[in-house]
Structure 1
């Protein structure tokens, strides 16, 4: 029988004395490459020109820092809980705890220290963010102990974690959230997570993630098509509704819509033909075409919504 990812033995746990990179391993444990999720999602309130003033930008920066800490606490907790299962995954077996580079006790201590710092920042910097952060943490606790094993539910719990970031961003700048923009991000995140699940089905199967037993490649492909289509529809409705009152140049809209669809199609192409390495964030950041398209779209969206808010910074 040919070897498959499911045939991989658990990674050998090295004794601590053979591996002496504690500071680096602790940093890897916090997954700094994932912090960009907060930078991409939390600043969405900036599409409202009223948010472009120094106090609002300072509060928004604080919200980004708070969610970096909150997500790092979640990553540490997940890696502690999943260490045995991670050792049988072709990629996750190299995570610091699963590989034996960071002990459970040290990881738990680091997680508690981050949680304490998070509480202090919430109390001192942004007390109003306590409820979205508490909701985010509660969702992730339920996800780790139960919901990640329930097919379909596991997808929506992860997406709600992104929505909590967006709500926190709006809370920080005091702007009312755009319903269509929230839905657009919801469906876009669902598309990215489905892409990750699609790759996991091929690479590791349900041995690492039991919920995958409730999926099939064909089912995930159908879900991907539906969620990608809903992403485009929600974005079009946002441009035609919430953004239209501030539109100063219809040409920007005509260019922005094809650009957004191009970026979405580019991701689906990479997912289908090349795979996303089990990490959609890393796949997006590595693709120069997607990054360039996103930056250009963001610039055009700023023009579409008006640049008068930028003058408030001067």
Structure 2
């Protein structure tokens, strides 16, 4: 159980992003008139999602190995399996290498170019663990890139060229989530913020509030423009009908950042806050319905 905890399975929910291009690829990669390609496409996406689960867990193990000394001085992180000694350095390192190899091999087998996406993802996260996480703003952009790479990988897996708006929307939304986590970390840590994560001192004060508001506005605006400008979406702009659900999700997340004790763990909020979960499910259902009705 300690090893499973070290793999951080709750974080795997992020890998669902690889399916996003599939939803918006109706009439491009698949069609309601011809469902034969559907099983093959979904299998590819499932394999890519599982590969990212393996690769991301390898990255978390690498991060825990690098930070184990500092984590032992942290009131919460000292309970992590590697820092506490429940998972030995040798076991963590061995599993890390195995998972990274399996993840990259699966990606390459699905589509050779996915190996590049997986490699870039791994390199960015290694850089994050080795120092980028101590550099204000660069730390947030490094984490954000992981979300965008997942969306790109999903498009590559099903051989579609998604609208640049998909990348912009994914990036803006991810940056909002990441900066929201920094906001929550500063709020919950209080005066001890710098002791828990040195970069938090650079986010303290009005700065993080300004970043959060700008990123929220960017996420909302980019999605709005995506629904009306993307060439692969209905010309009658009916995708705008999904905007209230996206708006509610953004505002609900802002509310939780200011009021929830779990706000520094977005993956917890996404799977445990019922209104937020329902808004995500509603958005997926509404998007699919609009696309199918306009097919």
TM-score (norm 1): 0.85
Q: 1:123 to 1:89 in 2, by over 3 A?
A: same
| Aligned counterpart for 2:205 among listed residues 217, 227, 237 | 217
| Aligned counterpart for 1:165 among listed residues 150, 155, 158 | 150
In the other structure, the counterpart of 1:20 is none
1:92 deviation in Å? 1.9
Cα distance in 2, alignment partners of residues 241 and 304 from structure 1: 16
Matches within 5 A, 1:23-172: 24-39=1-16, 41-46=17-22, 47-49=24-26, 50-52=28-30, 53-172=38-157
Cα distance in 1, alignment partners of residues 181 and 243 from structure 2: 25
Q: Does 1:228 align with 2:221?
A: no
In the other structure, the counterpart of 1:3 is none
Q: 1:282 to 1:156 in 2, by over 3 A?
A: same
1:48 deviation in Å? 1.3
Cα distance in 2, alignment partners of residues 128 and 138 from structure 1: 16
C-alpha RMSD of the superposition: 1.9
**Is this contact kept in 2: 1:74–1:140, CA < 8 A?**
yes
Q: Does 1:280 align with 2:266?
A: yes
In the other structure, the counterpart of 1:190 is 175
1:123 deviation in Å? 4.0
1:199 deviation in Å? 2.0
> How many pairs are equivalent?
283
1:242 deviation in Å? 1.1
In the other structure, the counterpart of 1:21 is none
1:55 deviation in Å? 2.1
Matches within 5 A, 1:220-299: 220-242=208-230, 245-246=233-234, 250=238, 253-254=240-241, 256-299=242-285
Q: 1:262 to 1:141 in 2, by over 3 A?
A: same
Cα distance in 1, alignment partners of residues 107 and 15 from structure 2: 16
**Is this contact kept in 1: 2:194–2:200, CA < 8 A?**
yes
Cα distance in 1, alignment partners of residues 233 and 63 from structure 2: 44
Q: Deviations over 1:54-85 (max 9, x none)?
A: 22222111111111111011010001111122
Cα distance in 2, alignment partners of residues 184 and 249 from structure 1: 17
Higher relative contact order (CA 8 A, sep 6+): 1
1:241 deviation in Å? 1.2
TM-score (norm 2): 0.90
Consecutive unaligned residues of structure 2, counting only runs of 5 or more, are: 31-37
User: Which of 62-71 and 299-308 deviates more?
Assistant: 299-308
Q: 1:54 to 1:93 in 2, by over 3 A?
A: same
Secondary structure at 1:109 match in 2? helix
